[in-house]
Structure 1
Amino acid sequence: MNMDNIRKISLVDFLHHLGYEPTGRDSKGLWFYAPYRNERKPSFHVNPRKGLWYDFGTGEGGDIFTLAGELSGRSEFVEQARYIAETMNMPVAMPYKPQYFAEEPTFENVTVSRLDSPALLRYLADRGIPDDIARRYCVQVDYTLHGKRYYAIGFENNALGFELRNAFFKGSYPPKSITHIAGNNPRCNVFEGFIDFLSAERLGLNEGNDSVVLNSVANIGKSIPILAGYPLILCYLDNDEAGRNALARLQREFGNKVMDKSALYPNHKDLNDYLQSLNPKISTKPKFKL
């Protein structure tokens, strides 16, 4: 079977083989829970007629090949095709250029302010991040989406978009990109997400280092021109397939300039999980003296 035939595979059928079923439908297609992240409300939309998907939580979208890349953490097209073939029990041949879906969710009435929401600060405190570190790097973003008003922790990226996070939602306000925190240091830390970056700040791992936050392993290619200027790259990536694939990509690009720091947290899924194992949750309740 050639690549054109693989491209014609139904996204709905592909998701079915992966164990995901639609939760509802609208005039343009079907809604699913995002297959590569946890969420409480389905925000992953598939247009079966066009063979395209869009994740309203992250602002990412594309065809079956780009979805395979998100699911597997593989940025090389041949590897994405192999992942599809393995899932669908099909062989692979011939090149194909993935198609990208340009449509973005419509954020309205967006306001950016100091991070003061007790609920958002409590969410970070529960993950071991104190208020002073949170406010140093994050803001509060209030916005309207699909006619409803929301607020979230905002972490700005290099394209002036924001990663958005609260206790019930993980997404982004486009455009999506990496975040480079530069201080003219000779070494650079690399993190998948900003919660891990904030965790490293709490643990003192960022002292004397610059940082790159990928804001998604799919952004690994965007980090390479920036990381090329550093003689030493310290990777604090997740202990999963996507994290290992991202590490391997950087090692192929930069060789022994790349150091894998995940040995610091071998029994934890990521750096924040490790931080939480070291520290009790930070209390945000008032203290009273008897």
Structure 2
Amino acid sequence: MNCEEVKEKINIRTVLESFNLFPVKENRKTAFYFALDREEKIPSLLVDFVKNKAFDFGTGKSYDVISIVQQMNQCSVSEALKYLVKFDFSVQNEFQNEKTKQKKEYKILNVCEIQHPALTQYLKFRKVYGQKDLVKEIEYELNGKKYFGIGFFNNSRGVEIRNKYSKICLGKKDVTLIKNELNVSNEIIIFEGFFDYLTYKNLEKKGNSNSDYLILNSTAMLFKVEETLKKYDKISLFLDNDKNGNATKKAILKKYENVEDCSLIYRGFKDLNEWFCSKEDL
């Protein structure tokens, strides 16, 4: 691919995640990150996921995926293109050669059951309050400031943090694999984020829990479970209806047999949770 194709086709979120950079504040189209070139307490880098570009309000500098790699690796355009080759329609191999860089200084202060009214309200807003026992309330300190959020741990004891205003990961990014405790399962159900997993558990019939569950926590983590997925006779996909979700779906369909794409259930919606929240009778 040439430079213009790279800027258009390679997802900016995935590139940022390859450097272990995650949003501090996020909505469906944009997010604020901490700056790429300096330490700061208030995030100033606005990332537009639709335009696939970023803008630093502190310096006035604009970024695309190539210049992000140049900034992070202090390299030339040609070296940045070599780095980005692994993101070209090969979601399953995205992180195999990466050198992650931990930028956030954090400390987890307390882990407990969900108690804070704001977190309770947010779970109810997302219609998953009934699954509150599957997540934790996390109090943490990030770059010298204290925060709290809904926490979901991954296999490396990193924790995905969510609240109304923030979407970040503390610690090492990884998948969350939840094994069936009663029986050896031949089916695995895959989600991108833990809110879709909580939504599915809401919908799942009581007693019908014979499957294992895999929450990717990022589509870029798929490479971590390539061998694991070969052990299952059936793979059910509840991935997002967006560029990353579709690319991940294609990669799985190409590599494995007996894969069912369940995204048709929530066609017209970004993900399972968004669809579920739109249903007044559910």
Q: Match for residue 127 of structure 2? A: 128
CA–CA separation in structure 2 for the residues paired with 1:224 and 1:185: 17
Deviation at 1:249, TM superposition (A): 1.0
- Cα distance change on mapping 1:157 and 1:24 into 2, 3 Å: closer
Matched, 1:187 2:184: no
Deviation at 1:69, TM superposition (A): 7.2
Moved more, 259-268 or 25-34: 25-34
Deviation at 1:198, TM superposition (A): 0.4
- Cα distance change on mapping 1:67 and 1:151 into 2, 3 Å: farther
> Aligned match of 1:143 in 118, 140, 145?
140
CA–CA separation in structure 1 for the residues paired with 2:178 and 2:214: 6
- Cα distance change on mapping 1:66 and 1:118 into 2, 3 Å: farther
SS of the residue aligned with 1:124?
helix
TM-score where L is the length of structure 2: 0.69
1:70-114 CA distance string (max 9 Å, x none): 8x875377xx9xxxxxxxxxxxxxxxx965342331112532111
Segments of 5+ residues of structure 1 without an aligned counterpart are 54-62, 81-96, 282-290
Amino acid in the other structure paired with 1:120: L
* Higher-Rg member (1/2): 1
CA–CA separation in structure 1 for the residues paired with 2:185 and 2:204: 15
Deviation at 1:185, TM superposition (A): 2.0
Partners of 1:128 and 1:280 within 8 A in 2: no
Segments of 5+ residues of structure 2 without an aligned counterpart are 7-11, 17-29, 51-55, 74-79
Partners of 1:52 and 1:64 within 8 A in 2: no
TM-score where L is the length of structure 1: 0.67
- Cα distance change on mapping 1:174 and 1:36 into 2, 3 Å: farther
Q: Match for residue 77 of structure 2? A: none
SS of the residue aligned with 1:242?
helix
CA–CA separation in structure 1 for the residues paired with 2:36 and 2:255: 43
Q: Match for residue 238 of structure 2? A: 236
Partners of 1:143 and 1:151 within 8 A in 2: yes
> Aligned match of 1:159 in 156, 159, 179?
156
CA–CA separation in structure 2 for the residues paired with 1:156 and 1:149: 19
SS of the residue aligned with 1:274?
helix
CA–CA separation in structure 2 for the residues paired with 1:211 and 1:158: 13
CA–CA separation in structure 2 for the residues paired with 1:113 and 1:21: 28
CA–CA separation in structure 2 for the residues paired with 1:264 and 1:178: 24
Q: Match for residue 102 of structure 1? A: 101
- Cα distance change on mapping 1:245 and 1:147 into 2, 3 Å: same
Deviation at 1:27, TM superposition (A): 4.7
Partners of 1:203 and 1:275 within 8 A in 2: no
Q: Match for residue 167 of structure 2? A: 170
Q: Match for residue 111 of structure 2? A: 112
Partners of 2:37 and 2:71 within 8 A in 1: no
Deviation at 1:145, TM superposition (A): 0.8
CA–CA separation in structure 2 for the residues paired with 1:222 and 1:134: 27
Q: How do residues 1-290 of structure 1 correspond to structure 2 at under 5 angstroms?
A: 27=38, 31-36=44-49, 51-52=71-72, 74-75=90-91, 100-130=99-129, 132-135=130-133, 137-183=134-180, 184-204=184-204, 207-254=209-256, 256-279=257-280
1:209-263 CA distance string (max 9 Å, x none): 2110000001111122222211000000111111111011111221x32110011
- Cα distance change on mapping 1:155 and 1:253 into 2, 3 Å: same
CA–CA separation in structure 1 for the residues paired with 2:275 and 2:265: 8
Equivalenced residue count is 235
SS of the residue aligned with 2:91?
coil
Amino acid in the other structure paired with 1:159: S
Partners of 2:115 and 2:137 within 8 A in 1: yes
Partners of 1:212 and 1:223 within 8 A in 2: no
